[in-house]
Chains A and B, each alone.
Chain A
Amino acid sequence: MLDDIWGEGEVSETVELKRRQHKKGYVDGVSQGQTASLQQGFDSGYPTGADLGTRVGRILAILKARGDEDSYKQAIKELGISDVLKSTYFDGDLKVKDGHLLIEHWEKIVKIT
């Protein structure tokens, strides 16, 4: 019986020690891992966002220059930042999926022949 009690106590102390130290290390690790990765993520995302913005801006310019006000207004409504960056158009790793279907749809409309 004594063996059981001491044995369990020892195990739970070890588990507790592991839990406590692991948690302490985890919190420190999370904090250390943040800054550099935030910047790396930003630097990777920025050119992709720039490409999407460039494509959308081009669509709007051509619609406006053509004098197609209805389509221009519709595009302004559909191609806002929260629509273009919807999760539907990105995969699980946040990479653009299928060339971005919404933008491609509008690119077909403004195709200059």
Chain B
Amino acid sequence: MNSDTKLIGSIPDIDIDETLNVEGQYYREGVESGLAQGAADQYRDGLQYGYQTGYQRFLVVGYCKGLWEWWSYKYGDDKEHERIKCHLNQLETYLKEIDNSNDEAVVEKYEKTVIKIRNKIRVIATVLKEPQLAKAIDDVIAIGGQVHLNENPDDMW
């Protein structure tokens, strides 16, 4: 805007297009700042939610992997447990099918594979007369849901 606009009684020399351009420029600058801030905040929120969900969903996978590891260590070379070795090989195959990405198809496969894994764990635990190891899966899943609300939320990120 030039100095003529300060003269009382004269018609201000306002360029409407320029004014709108300036308004638009301020708006666009605001959008850019907002996009960056909104994206950063939401990315962080998404990351935390992803951690929690991934943790909850994979406790059971880890538990079954741990049992496979323990049973393989204990019975892997034992010729009296050929039947168990066969089950353990099948269990290992199922465990290797589990992928930890959040792709839709992968998540769908996860659901089906976890059912097969839990069934196999139940069979092996029954054969070995250790049913408490299969039953404990529910305890393990439960710890994924224990968020203590009375704690300081700032402490959890």
A interface residues, Cβ below 8 angstroms from B: 2-3, 6-7, 10, 17-18, 20-62, 64-66, 76, 79-82, 84-87, 90, 94, 110, 112
Contacts and interface: CB of A to CB of B under 8 A. Distances in A.
Given A85-B48, A86-B156, 14 more contacts: A2-B6, A22-B26, A22-B29, A27-B34, A33-B35, A38-B45, A41-B48, A44-B43, A46-B53, A51-B58, A54-B65, A60-B62, A62-B69, A87-B156
B66 A29 contact: no
A48 B29 contact: no
B56 A45 contact: no
A80 B143 contact: yes
Interface residues on B, range: 35 or more
B81 interface: no
Interface string B10-43: 0000000000001110111111111111111111
A58 B69 contact: yes
Contacts of A27: 30, 34
B30 A25 contact: yes
B123 interface: no
A44 B63 contact: no
B138 to A, nearest CB: 12
Given A21-B23, A60-B66, A41 B50 contact: yes
